[in-house]
Structure 1
């Protein structure tokens, strides 16, 4: 059974992901979640606490979803391309609203280290996983390859979220991965 806190967080993510960061108020979260007025503020006393809770909630939910995808075994370069493509498709397909909310929080949190901490930790985990795989796949310059590949990932995610939700993912991932593996 979903708790009041979880209902509030799910509603908050949906509000931010569909209406932007300015839509995030305690009253709107209560209304969107179908909760009695004041329920959200019982769990998150201030807007800063609510923002922090939303950031942590997104990081937790994405970590669970992405772990299931990224933990799949693969034997070769094509398998890696398939897995990374599946992760991007998950973030920009079924979880597009949550991903939009994460990007909105990234911008909001740029000057707030506390708010940014769970999002940064999640990103660092994905970066470490990706770097390890790029090394295993033979990237001659793994740090440069990592930065390029992460920037590519952000770019295709933003493109699918804002310009073309049906843009093919795998062909672009294949080009980016192969580019990262050349000298």
Structure 2
């Protein structure tokens, strides 16, 4: 039960952060969102740092599960079209529904991690299915400096997601195709 309650509280914290921003993320706000008695969140996560750590850990877990699901649903990435299709699927999920809410929370946590190395360490998972798929795709296409190109491509895609979270709308497929073409040069 304790583990379930911790997960519920972490999920509620993600929702509070998505709805109210970093200033709105309080133990009381999480209690209300989780429909728990006052003091429940602080009983499980005594400090704001502990609450943020639980939130970020849960966020990364959900993101990695999403990436594994997408990876399992796609064929091996052999062509540019297959890679762009996978990226398109991921960006759409990150911009709609629960994925959008997680994206809003993720970016708030990313800014917060500038001053908190522990959060930053959690936010950058070492085993990332998406990063590995892109890295393998670029490597099999003869790209030099695969690690740098993978990082640059994924950072550009992340920037497009951030832009669309702020400004609205979908990411044009042509933009993703252009990024992939640039990474292959």
What SS is found at the alignment partner of 1:20?
helix
Pairing partner for 1:83 from 55, 66, 86: 86
Counterpart of 1:42? 43
CA distance in 2, matches of 1:125, 1:47: 30
1:68, CA displacement in angstroms?
0.8
Q: CA RMSD in A?
A: 2.1
Contact 2:17 2:24 in 1 (8 A): yes
Counterpart of 1:28? 29
In structure 1, stretches of 5+ residues that fail to align are none
1:76, CA displacement in angstroms?
1.9
Q: Say whether 1:60 aligns with 2:61.
A: yes
1:127, CA displacement in angstroms?
3.4
Q: How does 1:33-182 map to 2 (within 5 A)?
A: 33-71=34-72, 72-74=74-76, 75-94=78-97, 95-121=99-125, 126-164=130-168, 166-182=169-185
TM-score (norm 1): 0.89
TM-score (norm 2): 0.88
Counterpart of 1:10? 11
CA distance in 1, matches of 2:52, 2:113: 9
Contact 2:71 2:130 in 1 (8 A): no
Contact 1:89 1:169 in 2 (8 A): no
CA distance in 1, matches of 2:14, 2:127: 18
When structure 1 is superposed on structure 2, of 49-58 and 150-159 the one drifting more is: 150-159
What SS is found at the alignment partner of 2:124?
helix
Runs of 4+ in 1 over 6 A off after TM superposition: none
In structure 2, stretches of 5+ residues that fail to align are none
CA displacement, residues 25-74 of structure 1 (integer Å, 9 cap, x when unaligned): 11110011111111111211111000000000000011001111134223
